[in-house]
């Protein structure tokens, strides 16, 4: 039996922009296993699958074996309570191997979905009473959407914040859902920040700069009314590895420490490449 095969179906590709999409996948004849919010799944398509028009062409050595599946990890954005589909938030890497093929998918097309969800980037190991700050760039907000959809409900007894950075306001996927959640759930705070405000069509009245700047400017502390510290908060960083490294060094200056199973700390990392 091949290690990868078509075993799932695209139910809903929704383009947020021409280079970002929300993709829903349903299994074909098997049940989704249990998974924890924050974990990722493997998606795959064979080299013979067509590439989206917007992507670069493959030449020479780049042309893949038509029969071999190209597989990559994607954070799950849907609630782990949903058992009928998985949702993903994906950026097109124009020169990439898999994303140009994902961006050519239509409803009903077949795809490979790994049958096991993995990853340690979850809220499982953090103390019940700890406040939570979820910081991400671009599609790095995906695991946070799963956490929020699964765990957040009115009556929250601690602070829970999402800081989402992107170049433009239109690149801030899930913005309306996060804004609505902020209005419905006391204690939940959503802080979008964009790095190219001069390119906005309608002037941007929100924060500008990079995710790590929100910490340096004390914006979470200002909103919460108290300083997040290693004693009262856990912080998650996801997406662009440059942002993850820069934010980690800023946090380390304030006493936070990178978390690992062997050496527990308060900063949890997921680098997308
Ligand atoms: C645990 C985990 C979870 C992930 N979850 C997501 C997710 O939810 N959504 C998502 O879009 N990606 C996610 N990724 C990245 C994803 O696995 C692929 O690397 C990405 O989609 C590119 O695949 P590709 O085959 O098109 O590019 P490849 O041919 O593999 O080229 C990879 C190169 O493209 C660049 N690159 C990779 N990812 C990005 C990106 N997001 N933005 C800009 N440049 C990039 C880097 O330079 C990288 O070296 C995740 C990665 C990991 C490890």
Q: How far is the CA of 20 from the centre of ligand 1 (A)?
A: 12
Query: 142 CB under 6 A from ligand 1?
Result: yes
Res. 125 pLDDT band, cuts 50 70 90 = confident
The 10s digit of each residue's pLDDT in 55-71 is 999 999 999 999 999 99
The 10s digit of each residue's pLDDT in 233-248 is 999 999 999 999 999 9
Identical fold, 8-113 and 131-271: no
Protein residue closest via CA to atom 24 of ligand 1: 96
Q: What pLDDT is attached to residue 153? A: 86
Pick the CATH number of 131-271 from 3.40.50.80, 3.40.462.40, 3.30.460.20, 3.30.43.10: 3.40.50.80
Res. 99 pLDDT band, cuts 50 70 90 = very high
Protein residue closest via CA to atom 45 of ligand 1: 93
Q: How far is the CA of 175 from the centre of ligand 1 (A)?
A: 21
Q: What is the mean pLDDT of residues 220-224?
A: 97
Q: What pLDDT is attached to residue 56? A: 96
Q: What pLDDT is attached to residue 104? A: 97
Q: What pLDDT is attached to residue 155? A: 87
Query: 72 CB under 6 A from ligand 1?
Result: yes
Q: What pLDDT is attached to residue 202? A: 95
Query: 139 CB under 6 A from ligand 1?
Result: yes
Question: Ligand 1: which of 93, 239, 270 to mutate, most ligand atoms within 8 Å of CB?
Answer: 93
Protein residue closest via CA to atom 49 of ligand 1: 273
Query: 75 CB under 6 A from ligand 1?
Result: yes
Residue 1 in this model has a pLDDT that exceeds 50: no
Query: 74 CB under 6 A from ligand 1?
Result: yes
Cα–Cα nearest to 173, from 146, 203, 138, 207: 138
Q: What is the mean pLDDT of residues 214-223?
A: 97
Q: For the chain, what are the domain ranges?
A: 8-113, 131-271
Query: 96 CB under 6 A from ligand 1?
Result: yes
- The ligand 1 atom at the shortest distance from the C-alpha of residue 270 is 1
The 10s digit of each residue's pLDDT in 114-124 is 999 999 999 99
Q: What is the mean pLDDT of residues 88-110?
A: 98
Q: What is the mean pLDDT of residues 160-168?
A: 97
Q: What is the mean pLDDT of residues 104-111?
A: 98
The 10s digit of each residue's pLDDT in 4-25 is 899 999 998 999 999 999 999 9
The 10s digit of each residue's pLDDT in 244-273 is 999 999 999 999 999 999 999 999 999 999
Pick the CATH number of 8-113 from 3.40.50.300, 2.40.30.10, 3.40.50.720, 2.30.290.10: 2.40.30.10
Q: How far is the CA of 273 from the centre of ligand 1 (A)?
A: 6
Query: 272 CB under 6 A from ligand 1?
Result: yes
Q: What pLDDT is attached to residue 205? A: 96
- The ligand 1 atom at the shortest distance from the C-alpha of residue 93 is 26
- The ligand 1 atom at the shortest distance from the C-alpha of residue 272 is 51
Res. 106 pLDDT band, cuts 50 70 90 = very high
Query: 91 CB under 6 A from ligand 1?
Result: yes
Q: What is the mean pLDDT of residues 128-141?
A: 97
Query: 40 CB under 6 A from ligand 1?
Result: yes
């Amino acid at each position: 039996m091949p290690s990868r095969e078509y075993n799932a179906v695209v139910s809903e590709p929704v383009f947020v922009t021409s280079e970002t999409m929300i993709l829903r996948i349903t299994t074909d004849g098997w049940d989704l296993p249990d998974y924890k919010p924050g974990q990722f799944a493997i998606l795959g398509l064979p080299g013979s699958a067509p590439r989206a028009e917007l992507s670069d062409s493959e030449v020479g050595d780049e042309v893949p074996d038509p029969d071999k599946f190209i597989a990559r990890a994607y954070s799950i954005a849907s609630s782990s309570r949903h058992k009928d589909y998985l949702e993903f938030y994906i950026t097109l890497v124009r020169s990439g191997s898999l994303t140009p093929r994902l961006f050519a998918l239509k409803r009903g097309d077949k795809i490979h979905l790994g049958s096991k969800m993995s990853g340690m980037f979850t809220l499982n190991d953090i103390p019940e009473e700890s406040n939570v700050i979820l910081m991400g760039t671009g599609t790095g907000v995906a695991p946070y959407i799963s956490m929020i959809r699964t765990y957040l409900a009115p009556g929250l007894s601690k602070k829970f914040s999402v800081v989402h950075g992107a170049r433009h306001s239109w690149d801030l996927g899930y913005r309306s859902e996060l804004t609505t959640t902020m209005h419905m759930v006391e204690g939940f705070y959503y802080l979008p920040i964009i790095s190219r405000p001069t390119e906005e069509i309608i002037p941007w009245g929100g924060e500008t700069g990079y995710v790590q700047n929100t910490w340096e400017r004390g914006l979470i502390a200002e909103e919460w009314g108290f300083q997040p510290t290693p004693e009262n908060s856990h912080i998650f960083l996801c997406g662009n590895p440059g942002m993850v490294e820069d934010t980690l060094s800023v946090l380390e200056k304030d006493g936070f420490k990178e978390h690992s199973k062997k050496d527990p700390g308060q900063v949890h990392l997921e680098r997308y490449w």
